[in-house]
Each structure stands twice: as structure tokens, then as C-alpha cells.
Amino acid sequence: MTRRIMRMAAGVLVAVATAGCGAPQATRDGTITVAHAWTPVATNGEDHSFVYGIITSDADDRLTGATVPITVARHATVQSNPANGGVGGHEGHLDGDGAPSHRHDESTGVALPRNVAVELRPGHSHIVLEGLTQPLRPGDSFTMTLQFAGGASVDIAVVVIDDPSDR
């Protein structure tokens, strides 16, 4: 119990120490916390990139979709890995008028067991940004909206980083 409290206190200190420094931050919306949302640098000519981070939910839920502004990418896809709680994928596309269009299917996405930190990471479950519409430069950030099977939508800030060990 004491170790858990110490780890939680250390996490709060890190979040306070990095606030305003361009480091990925936690976003909390009701029962969902998203921390350390980041994407690697993507230069001119690169068509896609990936988004990673840590998601924790106070209730059993599932990450089912994601969208980004058209100024970032044409669409975002949740790619899940069964070894990391995933059972399929979910795509967030733009409809014919350029507005986000989603097909929700609770059997797809990334499972979020109650109070378990689920890490979206390279080689495991992650979000794919396809059809990048601009380079992603170190220190830049953009807003991404995550959709969950429980009905929540959470806007998060995604930071572009050059070195993943900086997160």
C-alpha cells in the first residue's frame, strides 16, 4: 500500500514538474485518464504516423475510435493487439463533407479493464494517423478526440517528440 501511494505521489510530482514544458500531459474526463499522449516526428513525404499513450478507466470500457482535425491527417484508426487487450480495429473517417464519421462496434477496439493502465505503444495497440496533411515537427502538438464504448469522448493533446525516451 505504501509503495502504491509513493508511486502515485511520484507521478503527481512528475506531472507538476513537466507542466508547461511541452511534455505530454494527463487528461481526465470523468472516469477516463489519458497520460503521455505522443507521436513521433513525421517529415514531408511521410503519409502516416502513430499515437501512443497510457489510458486508465475507473470502469470497464473500451477505446473504440479516434479523430484528429483534417489539418493533421485524413483519418485515425485504433489498431489493437489481442495480447494488449485488443480484439479488432475501429476507424474514424471523414464523410463526404469532411465531417468525422464513425462506425462504433463494441466488439472492436482496445479493452480498458477497470483501474488498469493500458499502454498504447509501438508493436502493440496504438492509433494510426493516415493521410498526414502536414509534417509533424518536434514540440508541435494537436488535439485528438478519443471515443469509448461507454459513450465518453475525450479530447487530448498529442505532443510530437523526436526521441521517445523523452516522454
Q: What is the pLDDT of residues 48-62, one digit of tens each?
A: 999 999 999 999 999
Mind listing the domains of the chain with CATH numbers? 24-166 (2.60.40.1890)
The per-residue pLDDT for range 139-150, each reduced to its tens digit, is 999 999 999 998
Contacts of 95 (CB under 8 A, 6+ apart): 101
Which cell numbers hold the place of 136? 509533424
144 vs 142: CA distance, rounded Å: 7
Q: What percent of the chain has pLDDT over 90?
A: 54
Q: Specify the DSSP element, H or E, that contains 68.
A: none
